[in-house]
Amino acid sequence: MVAILALPIIIPHLFHGYHLVHIFLHVGGIALAVFISALAIFAYYRLRTKRLLLSAVAFTNFIAAEIVLLVDATWPTIFSIGDLSFPELGHLLTFITLGLLALGVFRND
């Protein structure tokens, strides 16, 4: 995962100090989110419960949130969606992730 992101994202910011740490934080978040999403999807296909489906959707949504936040950390002034900036979109997706996880945890099947 890090090797794929090295050329376009990490190498241009190699000598930017703590900014590189911020980028590595989001790269690590993407790697963790992909791993946990794969586990949740495999668990859902095995057990087929709505709780696991909500968890799988939440972790997959977290991948999207981390990608948006990584793009914002790398190129902070380039991307926006209308009046919605990328940091706001990333935080909105993270909030949706937390809501879906809460629904999955507190759901009574």
* pLDDT digit string (tens) for the chain, length 109 residues: 656 666 666 666 666 667 778 888 888 899 999 999 999 999 999 999 999 999 999 999 999 999 999 888 887 776 667 788 888 899 999 999 999 999 999 988 7
Task: Evaluate whether residue 3 is within a structural domain.
Answer: no
Name the residue range of residue 41's domain.
16-106
Number of domains the chain is built from:
1
- Phi and psi at 108, nearest 5°, equal -100, 110
Residue 75 corresponds to which tokens in the numbers above?
């190129």
Q: Is 91 within a domain?
A: yes
The encoded tokens of residue 53 equal 């489906």
pTM here is: 0.81
> Considering the domain boundaries, does residue 90 fall inside one?
yes
62-81 tens-digit pLDDT? 999 999 998 888 877 766 67
30 occurs within a structural domain = yes
- Residues in a beta bridge with 85: 80
Q: What is the pLDDT of residue 29?
A: 92
Residue 9 lies in a domain: no
Per-residue pLDDT at 25: 86
